[in-house]
Amino acid sequence: MRLATDMPINHFFDDIPHVLDRPIYLILTFGSPFEAPIERTCEDFLRRTTLYWQKWVKNASIPSFYQKQVIRSALALKLHQFEDTGAIIAASTTSLPEFPGSGRNWDYRFCWLRDSYYVLTALSHIGHFEEMEKYASYIANITQTDTGRLQPLYGILGTTRLEERLLDHLQGYLGNKPIRVGNQAYEHIQNDVYGQALIALLPLFTDYRFKYQNQKMAKEWTNFILTKIENTIDETDAGIWEFRNFHQRHCYSNLFQWAGATAALKIARQYGFEEIENKALALQKKASFYIDSCYDEKRGVFTNATDS
């Protein structure tokens, strides 16, 4: 790694205070030395970065109600999409504890399919659809390496093996340990992900602004993911709570199997995909049966899970 700066380099290696009476520019790179003019390059990069984000916000459809807060939230969501592939990471951090001393310090720097749906929904509500198209490309690449089922999460390049390991030599936030890299949840069976993926892509396939450019894609992907629902709807799973030691039937998974089938039904009817429509109706009916089986008549409530 290399540091290029217009500040005297010795100041970085002594303990003597130095007055900052002008802007100081620092460029951290790796590989070849940075040889462009430092001040001019930094100012140019800053100006272009600022203009990019100002233009992005300007093109968003955001009403005046809590506008400032919505803009900040939208920027935070947008920043979590990896531009090269369209993947949306759950967080840019690893090993922040759920609460101090809990030991529940997970690495969230990956793309959870279910989280992506909610991010894309929020961005589409403010009129930004390019993120959805990039995400669709990411899903397309994942389906090309079909291993029989979709994982709950993937790396930003579509990486499938995200083996979890501990960095014992590091202290975490407020001294919390362990520090984790990777996430063992990639091995989990979480069958809600198929429905989540379908409803994430639903606006792309049913919005008339995209309909004709996506017709072939709509049929292939809808059928691909719907078949995954068909193959897994009778299974138990680890559920959204990512239980590591046991499987059971989760109402939440059945709910999103129903939602995925409903999304497929809308796509099929819009494009006239009769075979997909029939399959979606059958899966919708089966998912409804499983959801109803989660109803606890004694308490008059739906439970999270039932024994299979």
Give 308's pLDDT tier (boundaries 50, 70, 90): very low
237 and 303 assigned to the same domain: yes
181 and 199 assigned to the same domain: no
pLDDT digits (tens, 9 = 90+) for 259-288: 999 999 999 999 999 999 999 999 999 999
| H or E element that contains 42 | helix 38-58
Closest CA to 108 of 176, 201, 186: 186
pLDDT digits (tens, 9 = 90+) for 144-159: 777 788 899 999 999 9
Q: Give the residue from 187, 222, 248 where a domain finishes.
A: 187
* Amino acid 207: pLDDT: 81
Domain span including residue 230: 190-308
pLDDT digits (tens, 9 = 90+) for 71-100: 999 999 999 999 999 999 999 999 999 999
Domain count, the chain: 3
Q: Give the residue from 157, 187, 217 where a domain finishes.
A: 187
pLDDT digits (tens, 9 = 90+) for 115-171: 888 888 898 889 898 888 888 888 878 877 777 888 999 999 999 999 999 999 998
pLDDT digits (tens, 9 = 90+) for 19-43: 888 999 999 999 888 889 999 999 9
Read off φ and ψ for residue 154, nearest 5 degrees: -140, 165
* Amino acid 282: pLDDT: 97
